[in-house]
Chain A
Amino acid sequence: MSDYIIQTIIVGISETLEMTIVSSLLAYVVGLPLGILLYATAGGRMLSNKKINFILGLVVNICRSLPFLILLVLLIPFTRFLTGSSIGTGASIVPLTVGAIPIVARMVESSLSEVSPGIIEAASSMGASPIYMIIHFILPEATPSLIFGAAINMATVLGYSAMAGVIGGGGLGAIALQYGYYRYQKDVLWTTVTILVILVMVIQECGGEISRRSRK
């Protein structure tokens, strides 16, 4: 491989990490509250509300069932509106975030659902309000599971970021596509794929370790 390619790959790694980290963080800004709402408004819960729960659930399910590649294309006008461009790393962050939000929401909902009903009963018996219960009982109890879920989400976003290469996003995915696929440079293809695999593993392992340490 030429120096130029190596240089390109190094830039690609930093672009991929940027897309993954920024999109994941942004996805949590919306996905975490959404997941909490999905959890709390479900039947029999502290803020049980059938209508809201149904509508949120429907929106999340529709967004999740769209293939990410389709979402990428569908969101082009929106991306252009937000970032002024539809190509490049910055532009990729928009569809990545939008695509990750419903996944984050479901993951958060699932982590919160694992909290033992006994904890909720204890909180109710103390006279805690629903908001207090969520902030001081449910979220702390679910923290290790939330962290583990976050690692899975980040790995998913990383995978999606490679797909963003198809419509002109940056990062390792774009390099693999352009040099490896269109120009038959197998060595570049395998190098980028290997780096992607390593990145996913590092994210997953770090997330798992932080989650384990946080579990008291």
Chain B
Amino acid sequence: MSEVFRLEAVSKNYTNEGKEFQALKNISLEIKEGEIFGIIGMSGAGKSTLVRTLNRLEEVSGGKVFFCGQELGELKPKELRRVRRQIAMIFQSFNLLSQRNVLSNVMQPLRIAGIARGKRKEKAMDMLKVVGLEDKKNEYPGRLSGGQRQRVAIARALAADPKVLLCDEATSALDPKMTGEILELLKRINDSEKLTIVIITHEMSVVEKICDRVAIIDEGELVEIGDVKEIFRNPVSEAAKKLVYPSNPFDPTDRSRKLIRLVFDGLSASRPFISELVEETGKKVNILSANTKSVGGIGYGQMVMELPEKEADQKIVTDFFIKKGLSVQEVKK
């Protein structure tokens, strides 16, 4: 697979009231064609700045951004505008024209691309069908729900056949049900159109649900990058652990006890592991947090538990889980 974006040592500095602030520090990464790439971080980590360097809504202070082999920083305004037509974007606040109806909103990028009027309407209607809103074509955005508005924004973004879709916190203003619907829609479009999607979010659940790979940004730095499954199973950086581990604080009965985290990823969800542990080894564990869900009939999730007091017992329990093919990690408090 060829790459759509390549970032080489990208950095971005702001001066705010005389104080220099580094929003991005030396970030290098590649985004491949056809993948759903997540960029996750806490708010203020620099992820929104990072995504804006991909279509040069933000100029970089150092480093280079390549889109399909072309360096964005070298483009003249007119060339940049042409390139931007291939890089669609959707936003947390939708940014639809409130004074124009749904159909007219969706037709905007087609008009910018200079497509004839009749064709524009036809294409826009096709896009509204894809997002399931063809019956709302004459409504104004103000009369639609948040989820519907984001679907209009997606239809608008995809109308002129872009190569990439950038999503800047596109689901953050939506409730969980609508978030799920939007993510499913994005996944479907990714499958059917082979569209590369870049998703900015602060929610690990969004990344888990649809991303193939993820980059974790913390205080302007790229701290971890890789397959979502791999990072979920074995987060290395502190920022990744914070995002991946259950958010409720563990409250072990004894502070000195050792905690471990088990990760289920499909193959091992339907088996009663804890019962088997007790039956086979006679050792007991205390579950502090568990979060499993069924995705297409396959279990997926994690569990944090407190191990027995004695070191020998701890080893028996850990070995048992490893033998069963589960991913085991020690959790530091």
Contact = CB atoms under 8 A, between A and B. Distances in A.
Contacts of A85: none
Given A119-B95, A124-B84, A143-B99, A216 B112 contact: no
B265 to A, nearest CB: 36
Interface stretch (A62-70, A134-142, A152-160): A134-142
Nearest to B82: A127
B111 A140 contact: no
A126 B99 contact: no
A129 B88 CA distance: 16
A121 interface: yes
A125 interface: yes
- Secondary structure dominating the interface of A: helix
B100 interface: yes
Contacts, number: 64
A95 B88 CA distance: 50
A141 B95 contact: no
Given A126-B109, A126-B160, 20 more contacts: A118-B93, A121-B57, A125-B84, A125-B87, A125-B88, A126-B85, A126-B88, A127-B80, A127-B83, A127-B109, A127-B113, A128-B112, A132-B112, A141-B97, A141-B99, A143-B99, A216-B99, A216-B101, A216-B140, A216-B142
Contact of A118 (B55, B80, B95): B95
A124 B56 CA distance: 10
B320 interface: no
Nearest to B166: A125
A122 interface: yes
B81 A127 contact: yes
Contacts of B111: 136
Contact of B81 (A121, A129, A136, A144): A129
Interface of B: 55, 57, 80-85, 87-89, 91, 93, 95-101, 108-109, 111-113, 140-142, 160, 166
A119 B93 CA distance: 10
A137 B84 contact: no
B99 A140 contact: yes
A122 B159 CA distance: 14
Nearest to A132: B112
A110 B89 CA distance: 28
A126 B97 contact: no
B57 A125 contact: yes
A214 B98 CA distance: 11
13 contacts: A116-B93, A118-B91, A118-B95, A121-B95, A122-B89, A125-B88, A126-B108, A127-B80, A127-B85, A128-B81, A140-B97, A143-B99, A216-B140
A126 B91 contact: no
Contact of B95 (A116, A127, A129, A144): A116
Nearest to A214: B99
B37 to A, nearest CB: 18
Q: A-B pairs with the 7 shortest C-beta distances?
A: A127-B84, A122-B95, A216-B140, A127-B81, A118-B95, A125-B89, A127-B85
Given A121-B91, A125-B57, A126-B109, A141 B83 contact: no
A127 B91 contact: no
Contacts of A144: 99
Contacts of B160: 126
A143 to B, nearest CB: 6
Contacts of B99: 140-141, 143-144, 214-216
Contacts of A126: 84-85, 88, 108-109, 112, 160
Contacts of A125: 55, 57, 84, 87-89, 166
B62 to A, nearest CB: 21
A118 B149 CA distance: 14
Nearest to A133: B112
Interface centre among B82, B83, B93, B166 (most CB of A within 10 A): B93
B315 to A, nearest CB: 55
A144 B83 CA distance: 33
A132 B57 CA distance: 17
B206 to A, nearest CB: 21
Contacts of B87: 125
A124 B95 CA distance: 12
B331 to A, nearest CB: 41
A162 B111 CA distance: 47
Contacts of A214: 99
A140 to B, nearest CB: 5
Contacts of A119: 95, 97
Given A118-B95, A119-B97, A127 B112 contact: yes
Contacts of B98: 141, 216
A214 B89 CA distance: 28
Contacts of B113: 127
A118 B108 CA distance: 15
A118 B84 CA distance: 16
A215 B108 CA distance: 20
